[in-house]
Structure 1
Amino acid sequence: MLHVKALQVNFGLQSVLQNISFGLTSGEVLAITGANGAGKSTLLKCITGIMAPTSGEIQRQKGLNFAYLPQNTPDSNQSVIKFLLSDFPDIYQNYQKIYCGDSETIEYANAITQYMEVGGYEMEAKLQRLIESFAFSKNDLFKSLHCFSEGQKRIFALLRIFLTEVQLLILDEPTNHLDISMRLYLEEVISAEKHKGRAFIVVSHDRVFVDKIADRTLYIQRGESILVQGGYGQIQAHLEQEFQSRRQLSMEIQDKINKLEREARRKKVWAGRKEKDKIGAADKGFVGARAAALAKRAKEVERKQQQMMDKLKAEKPFVEKKLNLSFANYTVVNREIFSTKNLSKSFDNRKIFENVTLEVSTHDRVAIIGSNGSGKTTLMKCLLGCLQPDSGSISRNDYVKWLYLPQNIQDYFQAEILIENLMIYGVEETIVRQFLGAASLRRDRVLQPVSTLSYGELMRAAIVSTILAKAEFLFLDEPTNHLDIESLEVLDQLLENFPGGMLFISHDRQFIAKNARTIFSFESSMLVPVAF
């Protein structure tokens, strides 16, 4: 169906992708993962023809058609039904004439006939059934996309791509903003579609999702690729084995280099002595000639050893430095951070939540889950004082040092330049740079404007700020969104060692399992505990 051979992409003098090769067959799911900025989206753009590679070849089966879902959620004021029909030109054009035209004209009557002939009414009925299966109402079809949450918009974008009858579906971060139930449903849909012969290329950092759907996984690292059978677990095992192997080889080569350097220094001292003997014995005939020959031989040996050392250094494999973050050693006393009693909130006569009673301390780790638009972020904003509840009471202990990391992590940073945001905690710049360097934010990156950095870079920098601030409690709203797998692993480890408490909203099943001790779920506007 699809063959990618020795693909290379350069941006100026920088090589983004090099020697990427893989094939894809009908009914197969290929997951692509790797660090932020590794080139995953660039690879998708080459496959779809949006971008031309520098070199290499992409062979597509004759007549292969595909649909592409980009990372960004749709940003449009058009109605949901128009958005869903926009990939079906014949239906869409006649729909426009019927619902936006003058019903007294002959064009209107012709449009109704044509709409019926191209399957417009059948498509409308299909759309109504589909959105109801996703807990939407029929009326939601006629609302503007701006009325819905990011997760709900993502669902509409997925619905549109699955309505098409293409052979290959290319999905870039399809689970972004989706709640757990929708991720489960997406896994079921992909499984059903692949059994019909449809193929998928899916870029994702959702570790559980990749394990569930992937037949093979392509991991991109420093522009090169590793291909394994299976999902995230297999990639993780492969990378750990490769890391240990490369580190062992690197250590062995370095040991040889050290031995050669010691020998070279010894020979250099010996050759220097012989050179002195040669000068001192210049008039002693045979003895002087012998010393000169030995000195010459010593220099030749030294030259060959240097060549060997240069060769060994060239062969020494690069060993990726793992992120190494740890919280400063401080103690957090167990005390209440907030409590609520009978908290309720509504918008436009729609009940968001009611009678929420909750007590959380600095040693608690609480996850709030629920469907998109159920009220999780609204509740958190009420707890933070950003929104006022309609009824009930909130008591928050502001003597506890707490920090809030919002969904749009750019909003967390007030200064334009990244490092300036981390200089407010009274820590020397060299220490701040060390912490940022440990989070893979090195050299010029820390001096860049916040607006130019990726979501993953900003999230790592935000976590560094909580370290420097010695925070006692964290409010986290979807902290794993857009993070690469390496950063997700580090975030898990970091929060595991965090001495304080946290309340977080997440749809990442692995993140919840690792970091939550208590889980609450929104069900019909009520916050209920989940057995865990």
Structure 2
Amino acid sequence: MLVGLQNVTFEFGARTIVSEATWHIQPNERIGLIGYNGTGKSTLLKVLVGEYLPSAGTVEKSRGTSIGYLHQDLLSFDTNNSILEVALSAFERVQQLEVEIEKLGKELEATGDEKILHEYSDKLHELETLGGYEIHHRTEEVLHGLGFAQQDLSRPYREFSGGWRMRVLLAKMILQQPDLLLLDEPTNHLDLPSIEWLEKYLQHYKGSVVIVSHDKFFLNRMITKVVEVYQKQLHFYNGNYEFYETEKAMRVELQQRAFENQQDYIRQQERFIERFRAKATKAAQAQSAMKRLDKLDRIEEVEIERPNIKINFRIDKTPGKILVELKDITKKFGDNIIVEHTSAEIERGDKIALIGANGKGKSTLLRIIADVESFDGDRKWGHNVEESFYAQHQLEALNVNNTLLDEMKTAGSQKTEQELRTLLGCFLFSGDDTDKKIKVLSGGEKARVALAKTIVSKANFLMLDEPTNHLDMHSVELLVEALNKYEGSFILVSHDRYFISKAANKIWEIEDHKIKEFKGTYAEWVAWKERMAKQAAKAEKQVTTQAASQASPSPAATPVPAAPAPAPEQKPANNQPINKELRKELQRLQKQFSQIEEKIAKAKEKAAALEASLADPATYSDKSRFTEAESAYKKQASELAELNKQYETVFEKIMEMESEIE
């Protein structure tokens, strides 16, 4: 064990975060710490590192365990040092050795003392053991991976914005290689390429990692265990986020069904007692029934911690076919070209995700579309377009003296006060929060108010810049659901791959200073990109092989005439053996597919039978019988889920193979 909580209770004033929680973090674990906004995930990390002391219980830590903790409060750190120097400070001992070696080198040069020579040699050996000669290369590699260009490395740390500063501190922490990394929303300030780099890096990280994040894609790829803070307890799930969602739904369903069936059983017993306790012949049985009820382990009803509030858009006007037209657009910042002589159109029904690395100009392009950024070229609104633009700078447009509710009323949605309160609930404002003044809100809270105002407007075209940055997973789900039902069009910038994959039907990417459009979902775009990369690699390999064969001299003593190019009709003949093998493999997969289908049908029958036994009230009169039935049902459900996975995998392979044969 590296670090652990043993029967820990932690309270913030009158509010309990966790009660009698036990959690041991083992070496090489990948853990996602999740929970609704405000349940205390970040607080729990502070308890683990000793910043907060528990009200009861103990925090245990193995001797020598090193912890790296990345959190938003680190942004208070400031320095004139370059970002390379800040990241290199991860290697404290190496830097200290470098100073000592330089000093000893000068002394040795002056005196030639043998004692100094030995000390100098020992220090050099220690430097080599610690990998001191590689630290500059390793540091630059990590900083490049997190999105910094070579010319940025010598720039002072304080010249960078908060998001970029956080990347430098993340780089430093990664380079320190602690036994346990605690990362609080590490992807908040990263673009897609940097998130993908971080994923690959952490997957090979030798220590343990605990991540608090609202990025489902990131969690799914990174973690093998979920710890959920729910109703003041810690709940454990051995799997990634997808497994947690399935398992949690099953646990909730089983618990609710068990509760309802037990309630039926209790009501039956109570009716029996009420009816027969006054009769002498049945009094003993009634007494026994009362004792059984007293001894019964009561199953708690499932309480939904947050209700599923619906976000609804209202549109007054239907726009024309073209909403925005961009013609021959050029935008530069000095020598930095964002787009050059590029054109594009946004049509009615388009739900576009504008993606790519930071610094490519996504937000700038969004501002050009919104007509709030200067540029060369033409942009034109279509007929009947009513737009609404959400971006961080809109926080300044909020009236700081208004309450949240009054500010929402200024959006002109004609919604009732109750409807506006309900909508604010989706954006994590509940109860008395709606009567707070805007001026007392944090930056993240103001961002959520601005987003709620954008959503409540009657616009038929939305422009959204990083709308999920300050939302929890539940609110992201609600926003996705709302945007899927939205009858208008939108273009959004986001680094949340789950959000993009669920919301967008088109992908825009700025490449070579042009807008490149892909008509399809994010998943289809990723698959297409991978295919293009494979084709490019294959073509490059062929060119290299051809060049090598042309460069190597012929071993024959006499010149050999060049072979004629194969005729086009010979090509199918060459492919025949390959096609034969492919067809053979396809037949094998189709047979396997049929077998899996049969297994799924049988597994469903078994699951239905077990479900029927769980629906029997008599099951709940005997705790061991209920536990056995529940365990069997879970096992069967897990088997069914695994079969469904196999079904999808084999189906995809069959589709791929059929397209290859064609």
What is the CA deviation profile of residues 405-455 of structure 1, one whole-angstrom value per residue up to 9, with x for unaligned ones?
224774463344211111122433233224334666332011123355577
What is the CA deviation profile of residues 32-90 of structure 1, one whole-angstrom value per residue up to 9, with x for unaligned ones?
11111111110111111111122222211111111111136746463212321344446
Aligned counterparts of 2:391 and 2:37: Cα–Cα separation in 1:
20
Q: 1:318 to 1:184 in 2, by over 3 A?
A: same
What is the CA deviation profile of residues 105-134 of structure 1, one whole-angstrom value per residue up to 9, with x for unaligned ones?
x9xx9xxx9x99968775334333443455
Higher helix fraction (1 or 2): 2
Deviation, 1:374, is 1.3
Preserved contact between residue 464 and residue 493 of structure 2 (Cα < 8 Å): yes
Q: 1:312 to 1:262 in 2, by over 3 A?
A: farther
Q: 1:130 to 1:240 in 2, by over 3 A?
A: closer
Q: 1:235 to 1:502 in 2, by over 3 A?
A: same
1:138 maps to which of 137, 150, 154: 150
Q: Under a length normalisation based on structure 1, what TM-score does the superposition of the two structures give? A: 0.78
Secondary structure of the equivalent of 2:249? helix
Aligned counterparts of 1:427 and 1:200: Cα–Cα separation in 2:
45
Preserved contact between residue 217 and residue 228 of structure 1 (Cα < 8 Å): yes
Aligned to 1:4: 5
Structure 1 stretch displaced more, 366-375 or 124-133? 124-133
Preserved contact between residue 317 and residue 384 of structure 2 (Cα < 8 Å): no
Aligned to 1:502: 490
Aligned to 2:469: 481
Aligned to 1:516: 504
What is the CA deviation profile of residues 467-515 of structure 1, one whole-angstrom value per residue up to 9, with x for unaligned ones?
5422211111111223211112111111111111110001111111111
What is the CA deviation profile of residues 116-161 of structure 1, one whole-angstrom value per residue up to 9, with x for unaligned ones?
9968775334333443455644331111335546554443222111
Preserved contact between residue 352 and residue 506 of structure 2 (Cα < 8 Å): yes
Q: 1:11 to 1:128 in 2, by over 3 A?
A: closer
Aligned to 2:191: 179
- Establish whether residue 193 from structure 1 lines up as the match of residue 202 from structure 2: no
Aligned to 2:49: 48
Preserved contact between residue 328 and residue 470 of structure 1 (Cα < 8 Å): yes
Aligned to 1:442: 430
Q: 1:251 to 1:319 in 2, by over 3 A?
A: farther
Deviation, 1:383, is 2.0
Q: 1:246 to 1:320 in 2, by over 3 A?
A: farther
Aligned counterparts of 1:470 and 1:361: Cα–Cα separation in 2:
18
Deviation, 1:231, is 1.7
What is the CA deviation profile of residues 269-313 of structure 1, one whole-angstrom value per residue up to 9, with x for unaligned ones?
xxxxxxxxxxxxxxxxxxxxxxxx9xxxxxxxxxxx9xx9xx999
Preserved contact between residue 216 and residue 498 of structure 2 (Cα < 8 Å): yes
User: What amino acid does structure 2 have at the position aligned with 1:348?
Assistant: G
Aligned to 2:318: 333
Aligned counterparts of 1:95 and 1:373: Cα–Cα separation in 2:
36
In structure 2, stretches of 5+ residues that fail to align are 101-106, 111-119, 279-289, 520-524, 526-662
Structure 1 stretch displaced more, 28-37 or 322-331? 322-331
Deviation, 1:182, is 1.5
Aligned to 1:234: 243
Q: 1:260 to 1:324 in 2, by over 3 A?
A: farther
Aligned to 2:65: 64
Aligned counterparts of 1:470 and 1:95: Cα–Cα separation in 2:
64
Aligned to 1:428: 416
Q: Under a length normalisation based on structure 2, what TM-score does the superposition of the two structures give? A: 0.63
Aligned residue pairs total: 477
- Establish whether residue 214 from structure 1 lines up as the match of residue 223 from structure 2: yes
Matches within 5 A, 1:72-91: 74=75, 76=78, 78=80, 79-89=82-92
- Establish whether residue 388 from structure 1 lines up as the match of residue 374 from structure 2: yes
Higher strand fraction (1 or 2): 1
Q: 1:502 to 1:260 in 2, by over 3 A?
A: farther
Q: 1:134 to 1:166 in 2, by over 3 A?
A: closer
User: What amino acid does structure 2 have at the position aligned with 1:357?
Assistant: S
1:414 maps to which of 389, 399, 410: 399
Deviation, 1:189, is 0.6
Structure 1 stretch displaced more, 32-41 or 449-458? 449-458
- Establish whether residue 128 from structure 1 lines up as the match of residue 140 from structure 2: yes
Deviation, 1:457, is 6.0
Q: 1:408 to 1:191 in 2, by over 3 A?
A: farther
Q: 1:507 to 1:413 in 2, by over 3 A?
A: same
Query: Which is bigger in relative contact order (C-alpha 8 A, separation at least 6)?
Result: 1
- Establish whether residue 347 from structure 1 lines up as the match of residue 356 from structure 2: no
Structure 1 stretch displaced more, 511-520 or 250-259? 250-259
Secondary structure of the equivalent of 1:142? coil
Aligned to 2:284: none
Aligned counterparts of 1:418 and 1:32: Cα–Cα separation in 2:
30
Deviation, 1:376, is 0.6
User: What amino acid does structure 1 have at the position aligned with 2:83?
Assistant: V
Aligned counterparts of 1:338 and 1:210: Cα–Cα separation in 2:
36
Structure 1 stretch displaced more, 325-334 or 399-408? 325-334
Secondary structure of the equivalent of 1:474? strand
Deviation, 1:2, is 2.0
Matches within 5 A, 1:392-403: 392-397=377-382, 399-403=384-388
Structure 1 stretch displaced more, 167-176 or 450-459? 450-459
Preserved contact between residue 73 and residue 153 of structure 1 (Cα < 8 Å): no
Aligned counterparts of 1:256 and 1:525: Cα–Cα separation in 2:
69
Q: 1:406 to 1:258 in 2, by over 3 A?
A: farther
Secondary structure of the equivalent of 2:53? coil
1:320 maps to which of 292, 305, 309: 305
Preserved contact between residue 354 and residue 362 of structure 2 (Cα < 8 Å): yes
User: What amino acid does structure 2 have at the position aligned with 1:382?
Assistant: I
Preserved contact between residue 311 and residue 479 of structure 2 (Cα < 8 Å): no
Aligned counterparts of 1:434 and 1:134: Cα–Cα separation in 2:
39
Aligned counterparts of 1:407 and 1:244: Cα–Cα separation in 2:
40
- Establish whether residue 159 from structure 1 lines up as the match of residue 144 from structure 2: no
Preserved contact between residue 325 and residue 345 of structure 2 (Cα < 8 Å): yes
Secondary structure of the equivalent of 2:406? helix
User: What amino acid does structure 2 have at the position aligned with 1:423?
Assistant: K
Structure 1 stretch displaced more, 366-375 or 246-255? 246-255
Q: 1:8 to 1:384 in 2, by over 3 A?
A: same
Aligned to 1:20: 21
Aligned counterparts of 1:90 and 1:49: Cα–Cα separation in 2:
25
Aligned counterparts of 2:417 and 2:428: Cα–Cα separation in 1:
16
